Structure 1
Amino acid sequence: MDDSKLTVRSVERALDILLCFTDASDLTLTELSGRVGLHKSTVHRLLASLEGKGFVMRDAGTEKYRLGYRLWELSANLSQSDDPGQILLADMEHLRDQIGETISLYVQDGLERVRIQAVQSNQPIRRVAPVGARMPLYVGASSKVLVAFAEPAVQELLHASADWPPGLSREAFLQQLGETRRLGYATSVEEREPGAAALAAPILGRGGKLVAALAVSGPANRLTLEKMQEHGPLIMEAARRMGTMLK
């Protein structure tokens, strides 16, 4: 293997290590090695380079690694003018105060949906929605919205996926997509997580292009189907208003 290919491979491995911190605040060398599937000596060498550049930090007491300050420096230069998560945050907080449940914003990325913004419920028992979390695109209210209102190519990609769960009927899912388009919103009760329910509506930008899914989630014993039907017009109106705020 030539030097250029080795360099690219090292960069990919280093990025894989950084991506391990999307759902964990600190990790040991052993944990990182297990997550990326590399020998500890290789991971240790890559971590040393990342630490030298300020992308990770190591706690000498616990021997755990966490993200470094250099990432915060980079994120400070991100443009917020086109970031739906920042533009819509105030409206999401307002919707949270109206409904009393956790509000999330999802976008489609390949065959997954990614939570790019969340406003937690103020209730003692609530659904905690970490930003950056990834979930499959074939289950859940937000997934139905992101597929139902997506370009045909996204739907074809999903239905042709070899990773389609054996226990999930493609025909039933297609029917749910049709119902989502008819109603203008989607619901889910304990589809992805026991005891959890969600309601989602599409945020359409100018030209009617799908931008994101706006979701309300909470405990299933509080966010019942009846309650979600009651909230349907409210979340659709909020999603419509948010769409007018985006370019």
Structure 2
Amino acid sequence: MNQSIIKALSLLDLFSDGRQELSLKEITEEAKLPKPTVYRLLASLEYSGFITKTKETENDSRYKLGLKLLELGSLVSEQLELRKIALPHMKKLAGQLNEVVHLVISHQNEAVYIEKVESTRALRLHTRIGKRSPLYLGSGPKLLLAFMEDNRKKLVMEEIIQYRKIEKHSLLEDLQQIKQRGYAISYGEQDVGTVGISFPIYDYQGHVVASLAVSGPTSRFEGQNMDYIKEKTEVTAGNISQELGYKNERNRNLPF
């Protein structure tokens, strides 16, 4: 464990509703750490946006919590609301298909699996809530990249091409196909012998906020069964989007 990170985060715990601003002296005394160490940790937290310096004198400085924590808190709140809304629909879909169902979002240029409903079959996929994946790997992550806002997509793709050595033309072509057909499908990209199929989930503003992904062995994703999986997954993603307030052109004028 990185002790510096642990010590820095422990300083944030010193702030509370009744103590929204603290001096360097107060923080040093309560943290029971040397003043130079506390000053260095606070400087790192300030640089990262977790702490804001409100006043500085020759003898002391004062600090309060930074806006970065509000940003992260809002993100967590949104994720919790999304999971709460999506989970009943995911359970229903898993019951219809008896395949594993995932809810995937993008965060800091990665895909994060924030919810999962398992199948009852003996052969299952070894995935977990909290799993991170590159945005070019798997149907769920790749769909998020395909529907990403253009400026952010450009930055993410530059990083992928530079550090992951992915061929740009091939990736661009794949992403364009995903947007055109409205869903993503992958074969063996994360686990050999498996298929993943994903549909977008939209918020009330029409932004893609998550992908609904169904995965399983290749042998179960063929022919009429594949058509059935696609149909049910698309309907479920639409139902979740509708509950999030999304109205597409077909149902914009229809009551729900």
TM-score bracket for the superposition, by shorter chain length: 0.5 to 0.7
Matched, 1:4 2:42: no
- So what's the TM-score if we normalise by structure 2? 0.63
For residue 223 of structure 1, what is the aligned residue in structure 2?
221
Instruction: Tell me the amino acid that sits aligned with residue 145 of structure 2.
Output: V
The 3 A distance-change label for structure 1 pair 164 and 79 is closer
Distance 2:79 2:176 in 1: 34
Asked if the contact 1:180/1:186 (under 8 Å) is kept, the reply is: yes
Question: Could you say what the CA RMSD is over the residues aligned between the two structures, in angstroms?
Answer: 2.8
Which amino acid in the other structure matches residue 152 of structure 1?
Answer: D
Partner of 1:180: 178
Q: What is aligned with 1:237? A: 235
Gaps of 5+ in 1: 11-77
Q: What is the alpha-carbon distance in structure 1 between the residues aligned to residue 79 and residue 219 of structure 2?
A: 38
What is the aligned counterpart of 1:108 among 106, 109, 129? Answer: 106
1:201 partner letter:
F
Q: Contact 2:142–2:184 at 8 Å: present in 1 too?
A: yes
Q: 1:147 corresponds to which residue?
A: 145
Counterpart amino acid of residue 108 in structure 2: G
Cα deviation 1:28-68 (Å, max 9, x = unaligned): xxxxxxxxxxxxxxxxxxxxxxxxxxxxxxxxxxxxxxxxx
Task: Tell me whether 1:160 sits opposite 2:158 in the alignment.
Answer: yes
Q: One-letter code of the match for 1:244?
A: Q
CA contact (8 A) 1:102 1:129 kept: no
Q: Secondary structure at the match of 2:105?
A: strand
SS of equivalent residue, structure 1 residue 88: helix
Q: What is the one-letter code of the residue matched to 2:92?
A: H
Q: How many residues align?
A: 182
Tell me how far apart the structure 1 counterparts of residues 107 and 223 of structure 2 sit (CA, whole Å). 28
Q: CA deviation at 1:156?
A: 0.6
Q: CA deviation at 1:122?
A: 1.0
- 2:199: which partner in 1? 201
CA distance in 1, matches of 2:224, 2:109: 30
Q: Secondary structure at the match of 1:131?
A: coil
- Higher alpha-carbon Rg: 2
TM-fit CA distance, 1:88: 1.1
Q: Percent identity?
A: 28
TM-score normalized with structure 1 length: 0.66
- Cα distance in 1 for residues equivalent to 2:237 and 2:149: 19
In 2, distance between residues paired with 1:8 and 1:106?
34
